[in-house]
Amino acid sequence: MKIQKRIAVLMAALCIFVTFYPPLMVKAESPVIVMIDPGHGGSNMGGQFNTLDEKNLTMVTALAMKEELEKYEGVTVYMTRYSDADVSLEQRAQAAANVKADYLISLHYNMSAEHNLYGAEVWIPSVGTEYAKGYALGNLMLDEFDTYGLFRRGVKTKVSSKGKDYYGVIRASSERGIPAVIVEHCHLDNPVDKPIYNSIENLQKFGKSDATAVAKYFGLRSDKLGVDYSGYPKQQTSVPTVAILQDMTPPERAVVTVTYNRRKEDGTLGMLIEGNDRESGIFYYSYSLDGGVSWSALYALPYGTKSVTVECKPADNIVDKRIKVRLYNGYDGMTESAPVSYT
Ligand SMILES: [Zn+2]
């Protein structure tokens, strides 16, 4: 075939191609851009418990999240750091702004001063569309953690005394028009959460869960995974024009009543614990059987619950036979009850 004829055939083929396959000529829809932020790094270790450094755990989870999220179509994933480097909160937010990210997701592991708290929470921007977006994504993230049996500490805001978002990465992202959330996956220093995070596989599992929540939020689909989340329902909330503040007061009410004194046959004692917190609800309770000298671990109250009946077995050698209870709200504010004697 002469060269001209080959060109003519090629041109004809191209013409048919252009005529009959117009969809291929349409510019693809722009992908969702997600910036994953492995919390801390470099000289900033984050929480430290036993031999664990939070900065390393967040990296394991972030890499797993990226790998999982990239199995979906129509998404581009970046990370604020790819190595054990110092990156400021401003730099993290700016990295998201530079790639016009649709979301910045900052990954963390928690600890508490008294080592008594456990469970997962998501911190979100306090105002505007960023709040509404955070509310929807945060709840999807906690929904994933529910399947692990993790205690749900909620989707929350925290505002500084200056009236701005307390957490720097959220504040710096909002200033750049980027919604950001901080995911506190669980508490490193509590035995209740330990079996949930305590292996590389579990840290990676958290990353996969985070990716699934993000995929549901953006309605992504994946041929590789055989899932399609287009139209996946999200929790809607109105867009606040003024900041949603945190609960700054402890529970209004904490009362304990003895329902029955120590039984002769087995030494058990019954009590009814009641409380109330209008703003953020009662999350945990603990009790003392010796007038407040020693305390039980924290036990969870199912969300929205205001009372619980408890059976316990006081030791025989207790001198001060008085019960006290402590109730904790969604922001860990605590109220202690008046003591009640038992026999
Ligand atoms: Zn952290």
Q: Report the pLDDT value the prediction gives residue 303, as an integer from 0 to 100.
A: 75
Tens digits of residue pLDDT in 315-332: 999 999 999 999 999 999
Q: How far apart are CA 32 and CA 103, in angstroms?
A: 9
Using a 10 angstrom Cβ sphere, with 0-12 exposed, 13-18 middle and 19 or more buried, the burial of residue 318 is middle
What spacing in Å lies between the alpha carbon of 302 and ligand 1's midpoint? 26
Residue 5 has pLDDT above 90, yes or no: no
What spacing in Å lies between the alpha carbon of 123 and ligand 1's midpoint? 12
What spacing in Å lies between the alpha carbon of 79 and ligand 1's midpoint? 16
Fold of 32-228: Aminopeptidase (3.40.630)
What spacing in Å lies between the alpha carbon of 147 and ligand 1's midpoint? 23
Compute the mean pLDDT over every residue in the chain, rounded to the nearest whole number. Answer: 92
Task: Return the amino acid letter for 251.
Answer: P
Tens digits of residue pLDDT in 59-78: 999 999 999 999 999 999 99
Fold match, 32-228 / 253-341: no
What spacing in Å lies between the alpha carbon of 72 and ligand 1's midpoint? 27
* Residue 187 C-beta-side C-alpha neighbours within 13 Å: 19
What spacing in Å lies between the alpha carbon of 285 and ligand 1's midpoint? 25
What spacing in Å lies between the alpha carbon of 46 and ligand 1's midpoint? 5
- All structural domains of the chain with their residue ranges: 32-228, 253-341
Of the candidate ranges 21-35, 124-138, 164-178, 275-289, the one whose mean pLDDT is the lowest: 21-35
328: nearest Cα among 48, 49, 119: 119
To the question of domain 253-341 being in CATH 3.30.910.20, the answer is no
What spacing in Å lies between the alpha carbon of 108 and ligand 1's midpoint? 4
